[in-house]
Amino acid sequence: MIRVLLVDDQHLIRAGLRMLCDAQPDIEVVGEADNGREAIPLAARLLPDVVVMDLRMPGVDGITATSRILAERPTTRILVLTTFGDDDHLYPALTAGACGFLLKDAPPTELLDGIRRAAVGDSPFSPEVLRRLVQRAVHARPETPRPVHGLTAREQDVLNLVAEGLSNTEIADRLHIGVTTVKTHITSLMTKTDSPNRVRLALFARNV
């Protein structure tokens, strides 16, 4: 069962999210908060697997709350759900440690998939946000990436393809290996590069 904490200053949004989650056999809403100040102690007490976090809230905003929650419990997965998909909100949220970024106009199935993916260590992003991240990373990436110390040759191959924005399936096809093997390499790469999510890993790759 995936334990979820909902953080949003709009009661109707939280009510809709709760109804959506409660209808799923594998998701349980364990608490709600209407601002970041409330969310921080709730996350420490309820120990959710995933926090669905709004960004613009009175008092303590979602970015500050994300940073403080992760400082106390780094294994918490924080999935941003916001109306604002611009870079001024996206990059501070990722820097704070959010594992994914979805827009509030996303289909319900995309949100549920995002919660499940976040819970197992993946980094869910709305398609338009992900495209912008990948394009920015690819355009800023050097033509010939330099090797990163401590990586195996195969990990370097996977890192280069992550930086290009390829999915796990596409990486597996390109390198002629299994998707499970790709996931194992990406987990290892995140550990070795101290990257909390896939996009941070891609941004790391473009700068080496």
**By the 8 A CB rule, do 26 and 1 touch?**
yes
Is the pLDDT at 159 greater than 50? The verdict is yes
Looking at the structure, do residues 26 and 114 belong to the same domain, yes or no? yes
Average predicted confidence (pLDDT) for the chain: 86
Other Cβ atoms closer than 10 A to 179 = 14
Say yes or no: 11 and 38 in one domain: yes
Q: Is residue 64 a part of any domain in this protein?
A: yes
The mean per-residue pLDDT over the stretch 133-153 comes to 62
How open is the CA angle 39-42-43, to the nearest 5 degrees? Answer: 85
Task: Please indicate, yes or no, whether residues 26 and 81 belong to a single structural domain of this protein.
Answer: yes
Contact present, 171 and 208 (Cβ < 8 Å): no
pLDDT score recorded for residue 102: 92
Could you tell me if 94 and 49 lie in one domain? Answer: yes
Tell me the pLDDT tens digit for each residue of 2-17.
999 999 999 999 999 9
Q: Tell me: do 17 and 96 sit in the same domain.
A: yes
Longest CA–CA separation in the chain, Å: 50
From residue 66, give the alpha-carbon distance in Å to each of 47, 70, 134, 182. 14, 6, 23, 28
Instruction: Please indicate, yes or no, whether residues 102 and 190 belong to a single structural domain of this protein.
Output: no
pTM of the model: 0.69
Q: Residue 88's domain is classified under what CATH number? A: 3.40.50.2300
Alpha helices for the chain (secondary structure H): 11-22, 36-46, 62-72, 87-96, 108-119, 127-140, 153-163, 168-175, 179-193, 198-207
* Secondary structure (H, E, C), 107-132: CHHHHHHHHHHHHCCCCCECHHHHHH
Is the domain of 19 the same as that of 79?
A: yes
State which residues form the domain around 188.
Answer: 142-207
Structural domains of the chain, count = 2
Q: Are residues 104 and 57 in the same domain?
A: yes
Instruction: Please tell me whether residues 7 and 42 are part of one structural domain.
Output: yes
Mean per-residue pLDDT, 109-130: 86
Residues 31 and 118 in one domain: yes
Q: Is the pLDDT of residue 197 over 80?
A: no
Q: Are 76 and 51 in contact (CB under 8 A)?
A: yes
Residue-level pLDDT at 143:
47
Q: What's 169's domain CATH number?
A: 1.10.10.10
Rounded distance between C-alpha atoms, residue 2 and residue 35, angstroms = 22
**Distance from C-alpha of 184 to C-alpha of 188, rounded to nearest angstrom:** 6
Same domain, 25 and 100: yes
In a domain, 134, yes or no: no
